[in-house]
Amino acid sequence: MRDLDDLRRAVAREDAIARVVIASTRGSTPRAAGAAMLVWPDGQSGSIGGGRLEHAAAGAARALLAEGAGTRVLRQALGPALGQCCGGAVVLVIERFDDHRVEEAAEALTHLGVWARRIEPGADRAPRMAWQGADAAISWSEGWLIERLPPRYPVVIHGAGHVGRALADMLAPLPDLAVTLADSRPEMLRDLPASITASDHPLRALGDAQDSAAHIIVTHDHALDLELCHQLLHRPFARAGLIGSATKWARFRQRLAALGHSDAQISRISCPIGDPNLGKHPQAIALGVAAALLKEPGIRAADRRRTA
């Protein structure tokens, strides 16, 4: 269950909302199991793949809210009857959430790591679930829906200028990433999306990061860039990138070597970053960096597992 924080915020604003989640899939579908959207009478957020499927699901969710019902299950083939030609099928679970229901979910996920509930009549007890891989987030069996909090892959962006903020905004909606944006200028950290963690100390953010984190260094200060690279090479990390020209990187390589780092260590930092074919606009650079991140082993989004 990746959207617990979104649920809390939506319920605090709307009092009650309906959550639509893809409980299981068969064949080709727009989104994988676990994709979810939140629906209220005059709006919605998130997505289960768009198109006629999402439109129909949103209507069913609003009907559930109007009726005051608790849950509903929709089994839908993505074929001619729906005006789609994906060829697969989905099971959608729609649940009404209020403050009590959100806290029930939070309590289970916090203390047990798993939230199991019976949606349809069936077995008296939740079945033993065969989780599909270490990052599986959801299982559906015998009328039971079971969700857990999957691992989130940490990304630390050092620098909240044009490129850093564009990259953070681009990555923030991806539920499998935990994004931290660090900048020593507090004014640059205002009005961040709720899913981004702010830090006013880039070096501390680097020190506090998990060993599995990806680091993107895009600060306004070349001296700080160099110090971040220097400190980073003293610790484990999954990936690191530095913004700059080939000339800047040549100078940095010389300085990092003088600080005692080997060529092999220094080569773990990528510079320049992004895709030069996309141009130098901040959003274009961010797009190239984001694409490279999502191709990294171990740093992936749920949508990369979709089948259509």
Spatial separation of the C-alpha atoms in residues 82 and 21, rounded to whole Å:
18
**Helix (H, G, I), strand (E, B), or coil: what is residue 62?**
helix
Query: Which candidate, 189, 187, 234, 226, places its Cα nearest to that of 207?
Result: 234
Range(s) within the chain of domains with CATH label 3.40.50.720: 153-303
pLDDT number for residue 304: 43
Spatial separation of the C-alpha atoms in residues 194 and 215, rounded to whole Å:
20
pLDDT number for residue 18: 97
Spatial separation of the C-alpha atoms in residues 195 and 259, rounded to whole Å:
36
pLDDT number for residue 306: 36
CATH of range 153-303; options 3.40.190.10, 3.40.50.720, 3.40.50.1400, 1.10.10.60: 3.40.50.720
Walking along the chain (308 residues) 10 residues at a time, the average pLDDT comes out as: 88 95 91 93 93 94 94 86 70 96 93 90 63 64 88 94 96 90 96 92 96 96 97 96 95 97 96 92 96 78 39
pLDDT number for residue 297: 73
pTM of the predicted model, to two decimals?
Answer: 0.78
